[in-house]
Structure 1
Amino acid sequence: MAQVNNFERGIGLRGSSQFPFSIQSNINYRVSSIDDLTANNYALLAKMIKHFFDNQIPRLEVLDQYSKGLNSEIYNRPNRQEENKADYRRAHNFGKIIAQFVAGYSTSVPVKYSVTDEKQQKTVDDFNSLNDIATLDNELMYDVAKFGRAYELQYRDGNSQNNVKLSNVFETFVIYDNTIEKNPVAAVRLVQVQNLQSTGVTQYTISLYTDNRIVTFKNITDQVGSLSAIDETPHFYNGVPIVEYNSNRYRTGWYEDVISLIDAYDAVNSDTSNYMTDVVNSLLVISGDFQAPEGDGKQSGVSKLINNIKQYGVLALQSGSDRNGNKTSVDAKYINPEFNSTASENYQQRLYKDIFTLSNVPNLADESFSGNASGVAMRYKIFGFEQAIAQTINSFKRSLGLRYELLGNLNSNLSGGLSTAESVAVTFTPNLPYAVSEEVQMLTDAGIPLSRQTMYDQTHFTDATIEESNLAKEKEEDLDESEPINNVKFDSDKGDEVDGGQE
């Protein structure tokens, strides 16, 4: 097909349904203005949608498969030609491990959002609570780690609630302008329609989001063809209400660069499994002068001998005699394929190490990640990862800023509540283990006092507010705080509390 004009040729990955991907599989769609999309009955938009179907979705499908252990290379490799040979396909979901670590490290501890104005802070807090923002942020980061991109859609429902939800990467893309700022011009959502007629033709609903309206088109197939607008609905976000999140400027997934290593690891592990199975089914060689058992009409003597070996695991042979009447010798042994298990294991371990090293994700199964390692030592082990995750978090912050800018625009247009909205400060807290007891001990040894509130906050079995309330209640009831609770006994006959210190 003719190349869609004004596409950004970013440094991309290489595209078909198999790795390596083509450059076309990860380009950004760009136009001079919204007029380019609407001209000639949305002809350019139709080309972009067709390009998205043909070039971008296949890459996303492969990356999604590698996060689910459905690694395409190992499952698509040719079958073994020899009969009765094992043909295992061992796939390893390194993609899932890497993506989960990225999302867990950056967003398992909820992101903090703060505004200096109290009224605006309440608006942000209410919005976050309504939409379970902590979960949404984690889902977005997981998609970013998998695909290098993620999308969210902001909308206002029939109950006048401001909502934001994850938008599927297989159904969404954003179109940018050609300026150096790379501002979003529009976004597209194409959602598959359930085909109730079972005609074999998949239909999609198409929606185009601009900075002031939503255009809905007549359903199309994946062949696209022409677009026919059937409805337009205004919105009040003063911007495209679909926000894109990127892992970095190239939109590469966190395990995309190591897919070839994952394929190699799958291959050598599968070959090892095949060898171990083939050893059990090794070829038995019988040499010498022996007499096979007599056939029974259904099978020959040799076939009967082979079946007896398989069934009973015992080989009993009768040797012949030479011209002098002496018994001749008979020998039987298995022929096994030569296999250097040590070299294979070393190769697997090298691949395993390279996958984590080159993806910049620490291998937590490494013995060096021991529980008694110091905090400084642990930070050095994840130093490379922290350099890489900084790019993703910085890009994520920019998109989060757009989320709350849209919210501010909407509230300003509808009620004037945030007409001078401040930018929202975003704080990420890494999800890392900390030696809290060591830090507390260090402060107390230095003579630095800690509040009871802070001390309570370090525990996992109580809440500071509840605990203070319980202490106040016990004080009002004149309970001796120094008396251990285990010393309080009850009279088994009367059910009355008695002093545990008296007989």
Structure 2
Amino acid sequence: MEENKGQVVEGNVFIHPKDKELTMSDLLKFIGKNKNLADEYRHNLKMYKGNHDILNKQPRQFGPDNKLVANLPHYIVDTYNGFFTGIPPKVTLDDKETNTLLQEWNDENSLQDKLSEISKQADIFGRSLAFVYQDEDSQTRIAYSSPIDSFMVYDDTVSRQPLAFVRYWKNTDGIQVGMVYYATKIFSFEGSKFVDETTNPYGLVPAVEFYGNEERQGVFDNVKTLIDELDRVLSQKANQVEYFDNAYLKILGVDLDQDGDGKPDADLIGNQMIYSPDADATNATVDFISKPDGDNMQEHIIDRLISMIYQISMVANLNDEAFAGNSSGVALQYKLLPMRNMASNKERKFQQALRRLYRIVFSVGTVLPDVHSEDWRELKFTFKRNLPDDISNDADIAQKLQGMVSQETLLSILPFVNDPQEEIKRINKEKQENMQQALKYGPAALDQDKPDGDEDGDAE
């Protein structure tokens, strides 16, 4: 029987001895563990979509049974992801020719859109994966993959280098199939046996794992119990409102029998009235039954839960009244500080992952010439937080930094400049055209160089 050499360590990271391929026993063990993790991934996805646990609870036997969902996971994920990738990050190279090729490849592969989806998956699941492949035309492409049905395996060294990337699914016959990608070869498997082997053209494991923290926690993992309790409290409050919505009228000590049959007029008495004429008429009572007032307590716990959810998830509630009077300045920056800190840590992780991804992309020579295969070391990444910035303020900052930093750095400050190098090209081209126009129409230009009928240099 094959010995299991693989193990799962902190953060649900799969580890296997270096330079040893996965046995089928190891592979099935890792797939089984990932399927267990996938249950939690699916639960997070259901919460993001608004399918919370309260909707699946057994209905009550008596009384109103409202099931309300406060879908804060959707708000938290979309707000944080928009804050992080709402302004697409810039990936550039210093060399103009190679940078042009890089930008063309990024646009062809819709890199910014894929990176936004990868970031969102990392916020929901705690991790996401991107893998590189060659299409039918031998062009290098990338795709993102969900951790629900794929995972990375790392070696057991201190640096934890990628050892293999695994994807699996069920075919039309219901049999589990998949692929294992190593640095030099790719295995296909079906059921409990390997069935095919091909060559990996990259010389590297063609996949990269993206995550925002080493623990692989999603952005709302720490507040799921608070969200469930908020759903319960809101539903209970709605039940009570509905229960007491139709007030009961009590009539005590007043005889409403006008026709002598011993019964009050049927038009006066309904299902929401308590009638008793036998009481002492001197103490007659006609009023509505008051309901217990727990509204203040309910509102207090709702406010407390919402506040704690945003505080612990470290994602700012931009609809909070606290932001209304502080639309700019240091006060607003302090309110956003926890989210900025979390995004800064995520940015560092994403830069490392992107550099590894481009190392794979550049390795085959279809994006950049082979002589530039090591240019992944020279990549520059610029992440800008998506905030309601004042463009005039950004322009003032760029103006004040004139002469202190490079023109490319100045242009990268401006949020509407997507490619600083391309913008520099346009600026230089405009300068050349203006200079040519000045020479052509200037007083010092020769008569034969001027347009027809403009010997005096006064061109119309």
1:1-400 matched pairs, under 5 angstroms: 6-10=6-10, 27-33=12-18, 35-38=20-23, 42-53=24-35, 55-72=36-53, 74-81=54-61, 83=62, 85-193=63-171, 202-218=174-190, 220=191, 227-281=192-246, 309-310=270-271, 319=277, 338-370=292-324, 373-400=327-354
Distance 1:419 1:293 in 2: 101
Give the Å deviation of 1:335.
5.1
Does the C-alpha gap of structure 1 residues 330 and 114 become closer, same or farther in structure 2, counting only changes over 3 Å? Answer: same
- CA 1:176–1:333 in structure 2 vs 1: closer, same or farther (change >3 Å)? farther
Residues 462-477 of structure 1: pairs in structure 2 closer than 5 A: none
Aligned partners of 1:30 and 1:176 also within 8 Å = yes
Q: 1:208, 1:445 → 2: CA distance?
A: 54
Q: 1:174 to 1:78 in 2, by over 3 A?
A: same
Question: What is the distance in 2 between the residues matched to 1:413 and 1:120?
Answer: 9
Give the Cα–Cα distance (whole angstroms) in 2 for the partners of residues 459 and 157 of structure 1. Answer: 33
Amino acid of the structure 2 residue aligned with 1:238? G
Number of residue equivalences: 413
- 1-structure distance, mates of 2:160, 2:402: 54
Structure 2 residues not aligned, in runs of 5+: 418-422, 439-460
TM-fit CA distance, 1:121 = 2.3
Amino acid at match of 1:44: D
Contact 2:101 2:367 in 1 (8 A): no
Higher relative contact order (CA 8 A, sep 6+): 2
Q: AA paired with 1:189?
A: R
Backbone CA RMSD of aligned residues:
3.9
Compute the displacement of 1:49 (Å). 1.0
The offset of 1:307, in angstroms, is 12
Q: What amino acid is aligned across from residue 71 of structure 1 in structure 2?
A: H
Quick check: 1:437 aligned with 2:392?
yes
- Relative to structure 1, the CA distance from residue 185 to residue 80 in structure 2 (aligned partners, 3 Å threshold; closer, same or farther) is same
1:45 to 1:444, Cα distance in 2 relative to 1, 3 A: closer
Preserved CA contact (<8 Å) 1:412 1:419: no
Q: Is the CA contact (8 Å cut-off) linking 1:290 and 1:317 kept in structure 2?
A: no
TM-score, normalised via structure 2 length: 0.78
2:381 aligned residue (426, 431, 444) = 426
2:356 matched to which residue of 1? 402
Shift of residue 114, structure 1, vs aligned partner: 1.8
Asked whether the 8 Å contact 2:248–2:288 carries over to 1, the reply is: yes
Secondary structure of 1:190's partner? strand
TM-aligned CA deviation for residue 45 of structure 1: 0.5
Shift of 1:377: 2.3
Shift of 1:43: 1.4
Shift in Å, 1:286: 6.9
Corresponding residue SS for 2:180: strand
Q: Is the 8 A contact 2:129 2:145 kept in 1?
A: yes
Change (3 A) 1:357 1:308: same
Cα distance in structure 2, aligned partners of 1:214 and 1:160: 17
Deviations 1:462-496 (A, max 9, x none): xx979x89xx9xx99xxxxxxxxxxxxxxxxxxxx
- 1:383–1:372: structure 2 CA closer, same or farther, 3 Å change rule? closer
> Match for 2:7: what amino acid?
F
Specify the SS of the correspondent of 1:280. coil
Q: Alpha-carbon deviations, 1:189-212, whole Å to 9, x = none?
A: 1134457xxxxxx54431111112
Distance 1:374 1:50, change over 3 A: closer
1:446–1:404 CA distance, 2 compared to 1 (3 A): closer
Looking at structure 2, the residues matched to 378 and 140 of structure 1 have their Cα atoms a distance apart, in angstroms, of 28
SS in 2 for 1:394: helix
Residue 124 of structure 1, CA deviation: 2.0
Task: Identify if the C-alpha distance between structure 1 residues 447 and 99 changes in structure 2 by more than 3 Å, giving closer, same or farther.
Answer: closer
SS at match of 2:169: strand
Structure 2 partner of 1:19: none
Cα 1:262/1:419, change in 2 over 3 Å? closer
Distance 1:8 1:105, change over 3 A: same
Q: Please give the secondary structure, in 2, of the residue aligned with 1:411.
A: coil
**Conservation of the 8 A alpha-carbon contact between 2:102 and 2:367:** no
Question: Secondary structure of 2:322's match?
Answer: coil
2-structure distance, mates of 1:439, 1:30: 46
- CA distance change for structure 1 residues 80 and 458 in 2, over 3 Å: closer, same or farther? closer
Partners in 2 of 1:395 and 1:404 — Cα distance? 15
Equivalent position SS for 2:323: coil
> Contact 1:208–1:216 at 8 Å: present in 2 too?
yes
Q: 1:343 to 1:62 in 2, by over 3 A?
A: same
Q: Is the 8 A contact 2:9 2:15 kept in 1?
A: no
Rounded Cα–Cα distance in structure 2 between residues aligned with 1:156 and 1:233 = 13
Give the conservation status (yes or no) of the 8 Å contact 1:105–1:430.
yes
- 3-state SS of the aligned residue for 1:174? strand
Answer yes or no: is the 8 Å Cα contact 2:166–2:179 preserved in 1: yes
CA contact (8 A) 1:34 1:186 kept: no
Listed as ranges, the gaps of 5+ residues in structure 1 are 13-26, 196-201, 221-226, 295-300, 477-503
2:447 aligns with none
Secondary structure of the 1:231 match is strand
State the distance in 2 between where 1:186 and 1:306 align: 80
Among candidates 370, 395, 408, match of residue 416 of structure 1: 370
Deviations 1:62-110 (A, max 9, x none): 11112111122x22444334x2x11111111211111112211121211
Deviation at 1:433, TM superposition (A): 1.7
- Which secondary structure state, in structure 2, belongs to the residue aligned with residue 154 of structure 1? strand
Give the counterpart letter for 1:430 in structure 2.
Answer: R
Q: Is the 8 A contact 1:289 1:328 kept in 2?
A: no
The Cα shift of 1:240 comes to 1.2
Q: Distance in 2 between matches of 1:414 and 1:316?
A: 86
How much has 1:282 moved relative to structure 2?
6.0
CA distance in 1, matches of 2:402, 2:356: 45
